[in-house]
Amino acid sequence: MTVKLIAVDMDGTFLRDDKTYHRERFLKQYAALKARGIRFVVASGNQYYQLTSFFPEIADEIAFVAENGAWVVCEGEDVFNGELSDEEYRHVIDHLMTLDDLEIIACGKNSGYTLNRYDERFKEMASRYYHRLAFVDDLHGINDIFFKFALNLPDIQLLKRMEELTEAFEGIVVPVSSGHGSIDLIIPGLHKANGIQMLQQRWGVADNEVVAFGDGGNDVEMLRHAGFGFAMDNASEAIHKVAPYRAPANNQDGVLEVIDKVLNGDAPFA
């Protein structure tokens, strides 16, 4: 079977729980993939500027489907970014500010933005995921292009709040789970699979030539879309039901194990 594109989620998938990966092993694999014309794509809910920091040696050679598909960058060149209108942005912020059990990050092209009044624990955590993060007194009136919101809230509130937000925003944005205690509000249709399809069109890659790896709710469309969709062993049962294949856990370098199978022509790539 021909493979022409490998797409990886980061947290809980490509990265171990301590946010590291076997860099030397991967860079050797990447050189072999590149020699065979196989593209490598990072597909994550995280900020583009944070994602590039994991790949300093090759960031200008690979592609990024960042912010859950809202911003697509290929070899350092913008391919696409979504954009909420000023009215849509205000509508979302106005509603979110009435909820007192969550923290908000407004995700813009230049930076992420969150409120000064939030506690230091949250701001420290947010800074790990947003390498460009501004602390402001008000989320209104910011001059940027906005395409996503990230919400932090107690796990126990997650499902209930997702249902409420789906109804409140009437298709302006839709909630997806992006990990423990996290919800991303994305523009409808601007998910990871959509970004990957843009890159496929650019490179002439068919769906059955795509290998994708993920572990969370924001990976569902991507895992369904790919010819080879791999759920990590550490993923929830719901994600395992979506993906036809399973990779070893993130802490066992599961993605790298499967990349070896791609390079060696082992099953299911024989």
Catalytic residue list: 9
> What's at 166, amino acid-wise?
T
Parallel, antiparallel, or unpaired: how do β-strands 39-43 and 146-152 relate?
unpaired
Extract the tokens encoding 89: 């942005």
CA distances from 19 to 79, 129, 143 (A): 27, 11, 32
What are the E-state strand segments in the chain? 5-8, 39-43, 63-66, 71-74, 77-81, 103-108, 112-115, 133-136, 146-152, 174-179, 182-186, 210-214, 228-232, 245-247
Beta bridge partners of 247: 232
Extract the tokens encoding 60: 């200008």
Report how far residue 218's alpha carbon sits from residue 202's, in angstroms, rounded to the nearest whole number: 23
Extract the tokens encoding 164: 């409420």
CA atoms within 13 A on the CB side of 208: 4
Helices (H) and strands (E) in the chain, counts: 9, 14
Extract the tokens encoding 253: 């370098």
